Chain A
Amino acid sequence: MCVNGENAIEVQGLCKYYNSFALQDVSFQLPSGSILGLVGENGAGKTTLIKLLLNAIKPDAGRAIILGQDNQKPDFVQLKQDIGVVLDEAYFPTVLNVKQVNKIMQHTYINWDKELFARLLNQFSLPQDKKFSEFSRGMKMKLAIAVAMAHHPRLLVLDEATGGLDPMVRDEILDIFMDFTREENHSVLLSSHIVSDLEKICDYVAFLHKGRLQFCEEKDRLLEEYALVKLSQTDFADLPEEAVLSRRTSAYGIEALVHKPQISDIFITEHTSLEDIILFMAKGDRK
């Protein structure tokens, strides 16, 4: 689990039950000044978790403290002035144009910064008069990101915000997110399918699988301490059971994801990527 002094997000035992899906016992912390990447397959519960964090749906159990405040308290709605949100689509009425969005947001956010918004629009090359319905998906997402950042939030919550963007723009936007966390009290929760994005900018990675949080660790620690081993069935038996996180068995032997500090140096390990770790945890045999 991620643990640190002051946290932008603290979640404890969060649960939400639906007929065909359940988000169960999710606990993690996002330390202030950090970027936490939330990764998981479609339907893993990422959006449900984000809705729970922002009190857009009620939890069945557990609690979430956002920027030091219980999100179930009535004045949490005021705290949202300090939170920037980008969902997987822009969700602005399609008949609006950028100028109108600017006017609406001026009346929404106390700290709305027209100049910053204009700068971001310029940086993203977004036309001011074009209707939203004529925007490409990439343009819509860029507008949503500009809106989320133009009121000087302390916390950015991004749900698949980089999806649908070309690699150049994605890279540019990831840099903006990284710049954002240069300020000590700025934090980002970024949910994404694109593991390479998370690997590039995240300090912490949380992996959600079938409604359960599999891990939430410091990214560097994950990459340092997790490794792959390729062994025959016989050699595999010599590995301490508690060090094996997941494995794949084939005709040629066993490939396993292991916790390096728990195994002897005689085993030859291979460096692993975040994507390998996640794929192993999601698809490997974990018995």
Chain B
Amino acid sequence: MRALMLKDIYVLLRQLKLFVIVMVIFALAFQENAVSFIIFYAAMLTVSSMAYDEQSKWPQLAMMLPYSIRDIVLSKYLLGWLMIGGMTLLSMLQIFIDIEYVWVSLVVACVAMSFMAVILPLVFWLGTEKGRMLMIAMMAAVFGVVSAIGYISIVYGLNLPTDNYIVLLIACLIGVVLLNAGSVMLSIKLYKRRLLHD
């Protein structure tokens, strides 16, 4: 597992450097949306690492090496969780601007992890090319729904029950953990089917 994680980090190093530059520009240009962008981008890095793998045919070699399919799948999730976690911590630095950013960061992190839990089984099953197309469609749908909720809450003057932020967050976390656990199991099953019975 450590070997696979290390390989992914080496592969993503260059992209991470680029990411930092984009992140700074984005934070300066669209301050309010920067948090969501940064965390969602972190979730997408897992799919990028899988695209690099496919490009170099690494999955074919990995199947010959002493890595189990479970380890291969789990390492991708772990990478995603670490990236999202890291970016969430980074985005929390905005606490110095407004304390509400902490809650926003945590909620967005939960949404990003849920998004990853939905998209990764599709990528393991269909490959990154088709999986990425689905991911873009899903991202558009997620942002559409979020924008719609935001618009409705502004028009009708609805607000999140700010007193219950902690309850809301705990509920979100439980949901995310369950969704990710199910997603890992599904990904292992789909990846096995794709590779072993190809």
CA distance A85 to B44 in the complex (A): 32
Q: Please determine whether B57 and A89 come into contact, CB atoms closer than 8 angstroms.
A: yes
A20: shortest Cβ distance to chain B, in Å? 14
* Nearest opposing residue in chain B for A79, CB measure: B66
List, in ascending order, chain B residues with CB within 8 A of A105's CB. 3
Select which of B2, B53, B64 is within 8 A of A93 by beta carbon: B53
Q: Please determine whether B197 and A58 come into contact, CB atoms closer than 8 angstroms.
A: yes
Looking at chain A's contact residues, the main secondary structure is loop
Flag whether B63 is at the interface (Cβ < 8 A).
yes
Q: Please determine whether A91 and B58 come into contact, CB atoms closer than 8 angstroms.
A: yes
Flag whether A104 is at the interface (Cβ < 8 A).
yes
Q: Please determine whether B10 and A87 come into contact, CB atoms closer than 8 angstroms.
A: no
Q: Please determine whether B6 and A103 come into contact, CB atoms closer than 8 angstroms.
A: yes
Q: A54-B64, A80-B66, A87-B60 are in contact. Are A100 and B10 (CB under 8 A)?
A: yes
Query: Which residue, B53, B57, B64, B196, has most C-beta atoms of chain A within 10 A?
Result: B64
Q: A56-B60, A57-B197, A87-B60 are in contact. Are A80 and B11 (CB under 8 A)?
A: no
CA distance A92 to B56 in the complex (A): 6
Q: How many residues of B contact A (CB 8 A)?
A: 26
Q: Please determine whether B7 and A104 come into contact, CB atoms closer than 8 angstroms.
A: yes
Q: Please determine whether A85 and B61 come into contact, CB atoms closer than 8 angstroms.
A: yes
Of residues 72 to 105 in A, which have CB atoms within 8 Å of B's CB atoms? 77-78, 80-81, 83, 85, 87, 89-96, 100, 103-105
Give the A-B contact count at a CB cut-off of 8 A.
78
Q: Please determine whether A94 and B56 come into contact, CB atoms closer than 8 angstroms.
A: yes
Looking at chain B's contact residues, the main secondary structure is helix
B69: shortest Cβ distance to chain A, in Å? 9
Q: Residues 146-159 of chain A: 1 if any B CB is under 8 Å from the residue's CB, otherwise 0?
A: 00000000000100
B36: shortest Cβ distance to chain A, in Å? 28
Flag whether B98 is at the interface (Cβ < 8 A).
no
Flag whether B100 is at the interface (Cβ < 8 A).
no
Of residues 164 to 198 in B, which have CB atoms within 8 Å of A's CB atoms? 195-198
Q: Please determine whether B198 and A57 come into contact, CB atoms closer than 8 angstroms.
A: yes
A69: shortest Cβ distance to chain B, in Å? 13
Select which of B3, B64, B196, B198 is within 8 A of A85 by beta carbon: B64
Select which of A56, A58, A95 is within 8 A of B10 by beta carbon: A95
Flag whether A109 is at the interface (Cβ < 8 A).
yes
Q: Please determine whether B64 and A57 come into contact, CB atoms closer than 8 angstroms.
A: no
Flag whether A232 is at the interface (Cβ < 8 A).
no
List, in ascending order, chain A residues with CB within 8 A of B65's CB. 80, 85, 108
Q: A89-B57, A91-B57, A108-B3 are in contact. Are A58 and B196 (CB under 8 A)?
A: yes
B170: shortest Cβ distance to chain A, in Å? 36
A11: shortest Cβ distance to chain B, in Å? 17
Query: Which residue, B53, B61, B196, has most C-beta atoms of chain A within 10 A?
Result: B61
Of residues 1 to 39 in B, which have CB atoms within 8 Å of A's CB atoms? 2-3, 6-7, 10-11, 13-14
Q: A57-B195, A77-B66 are in contact. Are A107 and B61 (CB under 8 A)?
A: no
B62: shortest Cβ distance to chain A, in Å? 8
Select which of B3, B67, B197 is within 8 A of A77 by beta carbon: B67
Select which of A51, A58, A92, A107 is within 8 A of B58 by beta carbon: A92
List, in ascending order, chain B residues with CB within 8 A of A85's CB. 61, 64-65
* Nearest opposing residue in chain A for B49, CB measure: A93
Q: Please determine whether A93 and B63 come into contact, CB atoms closer than 8 angstroms.
A: no
Q: Which 6 A-B pairs have the closest CB atoms?
A: A107-B3, A56-B63, A91-B61, A80-B66, A108-B3, A85-B64
Q: List 22 A-B contacts (CB under 8 A).
A: A54-B64, A56-B63, A56-B196, A57-B195, A57-B198, A58-B197, A77-B67, A80-B66, A83-B64, A90-B61, A91-B56, A92-B61, A94-B55, A96-B7, A96-B10, A96-B11, A103-B6, A105-B3, A108-B3, A108-B67, A109-B66, A157-B64
With A77-B68, A104-B10 given, name 18 new contacts (CB 8 A): A55-B196, A58-B196, A80-B65, A80-B66, A83-B64, A87-B60, A87-B61, A90-B61, A91-B57, A92-B56, A92-B61, A96-B10, A96-B11, A103-B6, A104-B7, A105-B3, A108-B3, A157-B64
